[in-house]
Amino acid sequence: MVTQFKNIAAWIVNDYQEYPLRCILEVTAWILSIVCSVILALTIPNAPFIILYPLFITQCTIFAWAAWTRKSSGMLGNYILLVTIDTIALIRLLLGSNL
């Protein structure tokens, strides 16, 4: 088990050394996703989507960019789709319509 944690730590250090900006942004996006989940969990059934959707969109955009720089087509496609879905949802929320 200790060896696994050492391997993970070494991988993170290597990832940071290879592309520091990407590593920092991915950690930031990860933190945003945790913050969104906690806010959602604490505020159900009246979640503040006007706050959450921009955070969802931001972290998914960061992850999409990171996927692009890693040449990960599956992750890129996933995050582009999530950005699209959440952007449509935010627009619908702002317009107050049933588009």
Please give the residue range of the domain that contains residue 14.
2-95
How much is the average pLDDT of 48-52?
95
Report residue 1's pLDDT band, with 50, 70 and 90 as the boundaries: confident
* Residue 32 neighbours by CB under 8 Å, 6+ apart: 55, 58, 59, 62
pLDDT exceeds cutoff 80 at 99: no
Count of domains forming the chain: 1
Cα 95 to chain centroid, rounded: 25
Q: Is the dihedral of CA 55, 61, 62, 63 positive or negative?
A: positive
Inter-residue long-range contacts of 6-13, CB under 8 Å, 24+ positions, other chains counted: none
Structure tokens at 57: 């969109």
What would the pLDDT profile of 72-93 be if each residue is shown by its tens digit? 999 999 999 999 999 999 999 9
How much is the average pLDDT of 33-48?
96
Q: Is the dihedral of CA 28, 92, 38, 77 positive or negative?
A: negative
What would the pLDDT profile of 53-64 be if each residue is shown by its tens digit? 999 999 999 999
